[in-house]
Structure 1
């Protein structure tokens, strides 16, 4: 890996995402610095898709820091809700809870929306965008999906976001009952990153 790609800014201040990315990149000798440590403010996510929002965030972080940037835009897609909460996953309960909306608020709203509904299928979706600089005309874009169901109640203490109610039939647990290592190996973000890392490495050739 060339020196210019040894340090990347991660366009998020979400502590859960920072931990996951740091772990996933460590084996590739790539240092991840969250944009909050570099005094980069969040940029309005004005896109209508995960891809658009990830590009907006990566470009902003690269422009503010002068470093190559990675941005993640991810969320929960619930079939019975027409794809909601989708790109609004982190602020799903905003209308109910206000600006200080929490993961608990979002889960409560989701469970209410699905109350009594037998269709519980859902998937997590992640779009990762890597930009070498703010004006990069060919950003690297990778995606990952993690299929499961929405449980009727919370289980587990690990993870963040909707993990306590995202049930994975193959493992017989929710995402919040998995170890970080297990989750990273099968999650939407883990899949997207597994596709992205080799493409970043190829840039040094």
Structure 2
């Protein structure tokens, strides 16, 4: 549903049930390149997209034992996901309102992780035995994701090129990715896609090249 903002504009909200309690969650407007509070205004600065449920920004501190984030008593005893800088951090259990971190970063946020999953309709022609030889996915402002002919057979999409180091953050990707040899012959052929990390993924188009079985 929607609720009005102070400026009169509608804001999207969702009612979410967790256990026996209900929560009202607000969806924030995001513009990667022109967010008015972005620190550097870069199209690669996606810190303002919090891709976690019940997310909150965190302040990173350091003591004799290393880096940590505090003020997380709302998640006490629960496992939360984190993003430090522009990279996911390993899940942590909140203890006394604190989680320990493997590394530092310019910013961070924490919340409950979730997986987004989608599936196309049966590829045409509907009642003809066929297979998908190749398909292309057009992304905009995306980092990470999985695709495949079924949920169980999805594989990670490689966005990192051969000249970038694995300890450096990925830039937001906009463009096409081509996937070959997807599944076998069947009357029902689908393309599945998923995002299981707290990172942005937007799919604009999926185009498949199919082969009929005669």
**When the two structures are superposed, what TM-score results if normalisation uses the length of structure 2?**
0.22
- Compare relative contact order (CA 8 Å, sep 6+) and give the higher one, 1 or 2: 2
Between Structure 1 and Structure 2, the one with more helix by share is 1
Between Structure 1 and Structure 2, the one with more strand by share is 2
Q: Which has the larger radius of gyration?
A: 2
**When the two structures are superposed, what TM-score results if normalisation uses the length of structure 1?**
0.23
